């Protein structure tokens, strides 16, 4: 019934837009909607199939675990938008089908990893006694997978798939409006992302951009609430609670109890659990690390090989480093510092906002009642799609394009990062065990004392995981947000100086693959060393803060 209502609203919106907006391309809105939605659904199905099979494989097979996990982890930690131009260059050779394929590849890279890690975490946290019981009753092979593993991980798969669905929409503009070597390529079947991008970049029409953004957001949020939430409730209700409602859960001792509560977390689901971050950061053996590095090298090698059609000779490399925008490499440390500064500012703002809102939401039920639905909607907004709209609006407001882009960049980062922080903080505050709360009340902790001695220390580990996740997504977004493409050959594309925009120039403007790979390597190094030196240490430090429940 609700589905019909939602479809009806969509139809009315389509009709209104088509009737009252007089750009000829808008007439194709129904087709575009259909093609984008079906693209995302197809990719989602592929991602789920891939993620579930490889996730189970990596969780149950030792060799698969040693080889697959670090490799996928590496792929995940390199910002997707960074290596996209390379993939595109390769696939474009196949003609229109190649363009469609590359759109699906980008969607896939934004969806598959979280499903893989969700499945991995869920399989690993199936209680040992269940596995032993299954073994003692003679369940092996496919039967074991079918009757034990699959039912146990279903909730995790569903919540990971929901995340993937949101992530797919997040990238809708980047995927359907591809810039490559100075030209713009859109998929032959069109799409909502390319339409929105065109409205913002080419027509520079703020009104239509906003209308389209609202339209897209409605589709995402409505069907999110309708299908996914219901699906998740159903799965949680229908499974055998004490054992099988394990969600995207943590490793080892954080395990089941906590994950279960996280899944039953009020109205919202539990995306991208602690687990992923923990899993990634906790324990890699030295061998795993060596293998990861070796794999990374061979992956880069392979990509280079396919890109250039030959082994990267010294000449090619030298060529890459002498062609534009190589002259900007001199300023590389400054550019890195600038990008880091933007991320730090945005992180600071998100941390503060999430802390204040999270603690407020935890302490006052009324504020929570307002914040949670807001969170639900906000999470559904395809943030990258907001980029052109935001820029257009700000540019009209301040009049200086560069300043407008700088502000847009930071606002985008904040919008992107704050959800992860907020989610982690709120879920942590909600999970403060009854006993700890009672201790606080019984022994007279009030007001600020309560917050500093009980609430804040309890949520510190979640703040750390939230930070890891939000920095991860931040690195991804900044590649997009520092660079404003232009389709008009008269006006050069606009950018603010930074590592992200340099990468974009190398990739989109000049198609300089050598430099692109080099910059990606630099970025991956920065990301990984931050993980190693900052986040991993923080997590380890907070490990003992874990409250037994």
Partner 1 sequence: MPVLEVENVTKTFTMNRSKILVLDNVSFSVGEDEFVCIVGPSGCGKSTLLRIIAGLEKADSGRVLFHGQPITKPTQKITMVFQLFGLLPWKTALENVELPLEAAGLGKEESRKVAKEYLKMVGLEGFENAYPHDLSGGMKQRVGIARALALKPEVLLMDEPFSSLDELTAKTLRKLILDIWREPELPTNTFIMVSHNVEEAVFMADRVIVMSSRPGRVIGEVKIDIPRPRENHLRSPAYFNLVDKVVEILEKDAVTETKSLPLPVRPP
Closest CA to 123 of 25, 217, 274, 251: 251
Q: Could you say which of 442, 448, 490, 492 contacts partner 1 (CB under 8 A)?
A: 442
For residues 156 and 119, the answer to whether their CB atoms sit within 8 Å is: yes
Any contact of residue 302 with partner 1 (CB under 8 A)? no
Which lies closer to partner 1 via its Cβ, residue 128 or residue 434?
434
Among the candidate windows 227-235, 325-333, 451-459, 522-530, which touches partner 1 by CB under 8 A? 451-459
Residues 526, 71, 88, 213, CA torsion sign: negative
Which lies closer to partner 1 via its Cβ, residue 37 or residue 460?
460
Any contact of residue 443 with partner 1 (CB under 8 A)? yes
For residues 197 and 173, the answer to whether their CB atoms sit within 8 Å is: yes
Q: At its nearest, how many Å lie between partner 1 and the CB of residue 457?
A: 4
Q: How many residues bind partner 1 (CB under 8 A)?
A: 23
Site residues for partner 1, 421-440, by CB under 8 A, read 433, 435-436, 438-439
Q: At its nearest, how many Å lie between partner 1 and the CB of residue 442?
A: 5
Pseudo-torsion of CA 279, 285, 286, 289, nearest 10°? -30
Instruction: Write the CB contacts of 60 (distance below 8 Å, at least 6 apart in sequence).
Output: 123, 149
Render the burial of 326-345: b for 16+ CB within 10 Å, e for the rest. Answer: bebeeeeeebbebbbebbee
Q: At its nearest, how many Å lie between partner 1 and the CB of residue 532?
A: 24
Site residues for partner 1, 170-229, by CB under 8 A, read none
Any contact of residue 330 with partner 1 (CB under 8 A)? no
Peptide bond into 325 cis (omega under 30): yes
Q: At its nearest, how many Å lie between partner 1 and the CB of residue 423?
A: 22
Q: Per the structure block, which two tokens stand in for 495?
A: 């950018």
Any contact of residue 448 with partner 1 (CB under 8 A)? no
Q: At its nearest, how many Å lie between partner 1 and the CB of residue 437?
A: 9
- Cα distances (Å, whole numbers) of residue 201 to 169, 190, 400, 479, 491: 19, 16, 16, 17, 12
Any contact of residue 457 with partner 1 (CB under 8 A)? yes
Instruction: Write the CB contacts of 445 (distance below 8 Å, at least 6 apart in sequence).
Output: 453, 454
Q: At its nearest, how many Å lie between partner 1 and the CB of residue 548?
A: 6
Which lies closer to partner 1 via its Cβ, residue 318 or residue 449?
449
Any contact of residue 293 with partner 1 (CB under 8 A)? no
* Exposed/middle/buried for residue 4 (C-beta within 10 Å: 0-12, 13-18, 19+): exposed
Site residues for partner 1, 375-404, by CB under 8 A, read none
Which lies closer to partner 1 via its Cβ, residue 253 or residue 310?
253
Residues found near partner 1 in the complex (CB under 8 A) = 433, 435-436, 438-439, 441-446, 449, 453-454, 457-458, 460, 544-549
């Amino acid at each position: 019934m609700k589905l019909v209502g939602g479809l009806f609203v969509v139809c009315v919106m389509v009709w209104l837009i088509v009737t009252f907006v007089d750009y000829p391309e808008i007439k194709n809105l129904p087709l575009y909607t259909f093609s984008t939605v079906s693209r995302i659904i197809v990719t989602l199905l592929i991602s789920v199939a891939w993620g579930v099979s490889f996730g189970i494989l990596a969780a149950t097979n030792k060799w698969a675990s040693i080889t697959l996990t670090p490799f996928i982890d590496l792929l995940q930690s390199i910002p997707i938008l960074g290596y996209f131009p390379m993939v595109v260059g390769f696939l474009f050779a196949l003609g229109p089908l190649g363009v469609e394929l590359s759109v699906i590849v980008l969607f896939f890279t934004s969806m598959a990893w979280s499903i893989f890690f969700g499945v991995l975490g869920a399989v690993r946290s199936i209680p040992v006694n269940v596995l032993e019981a299954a073994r003692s009753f003679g369940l092996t092979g496919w039967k074991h997978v079918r009757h034990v593993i699959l039912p146990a991980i279903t909730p995790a798969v569903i919540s990971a798939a929901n995340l993937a669905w949101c992530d797919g929409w997040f990238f809708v503009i980047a995927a359907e409006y591809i810039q490559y070597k100075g030209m713009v390529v859109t998929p032959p079947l069109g799409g909502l992302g390319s339409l929105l991008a065109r409205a913002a970049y080419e027509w520079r029409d703020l009104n239509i951009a906003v209308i389209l953004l609202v339209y897209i957001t409605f589709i995402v949020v409505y069907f999110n609430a309708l299908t996914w939430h219901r699906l998740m409730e159903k799965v949680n209700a229908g499974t055998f609670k004490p054992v099988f409602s394990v969600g995207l859960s943590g490793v080892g001792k954080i395990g089941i109890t906590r994950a279960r509560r996280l899944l039953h977390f009020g109205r919202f689901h539990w995306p991208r659990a602690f687990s992923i971050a923990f899993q990634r950061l906790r324990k890699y053996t030295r061998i795993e690390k060596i293998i990861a590095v070796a794999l990374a090298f061979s992956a880069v090698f392979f990509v280079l090989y396919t890109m250039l059609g030959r082994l990267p000779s010294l000449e090619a490399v030298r060529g890459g480093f002498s062609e534009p925008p190589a002259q900007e490499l001199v300023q590389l440390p400054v550019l890195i510092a600038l990008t880091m500064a933007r991320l730090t500012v945005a992180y600071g703002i998100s941390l503060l906002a999430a802390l204040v809102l999270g603690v407020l939401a935890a302490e006052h039920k009324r504020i929570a009642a307002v914040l949670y639905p807001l969170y639900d909607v906000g999470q559904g907004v395809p943030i990258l799609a907001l980029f052109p709209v935001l820029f257009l609006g700000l540019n009209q407001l301040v009049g200086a394009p560069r300043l407008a882009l700088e502000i847009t960049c930071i606002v985008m980062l904040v919008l992107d990062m704050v959800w992860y922080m907020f989610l982690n903080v709120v879920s942590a505050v909600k999970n403060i065990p009854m006993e700890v709360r009672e201790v606080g009340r019984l022994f007279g902790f009030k007001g600020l004392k309560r917050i500093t001695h009980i609430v804040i220390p309890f949520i510190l580990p979640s703040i750390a995981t939230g930070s890891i996740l939000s920095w991860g997504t931040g690195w991804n977004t900044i590649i997009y947000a520092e660079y404003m493409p232009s389709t008009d050959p008269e006006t050069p594309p606009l950018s603010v100086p930074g590592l992200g925009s340099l990468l974009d120039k190398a990739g989109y403007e000049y198609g300089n693959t050598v430099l692109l790979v080099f910059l990606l390597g630099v970025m991956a190094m920065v990301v990984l060393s931050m993980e190693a030196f900052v986040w991993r240490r923080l997590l380890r430090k907070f490990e003992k803060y874990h409250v037994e429940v």
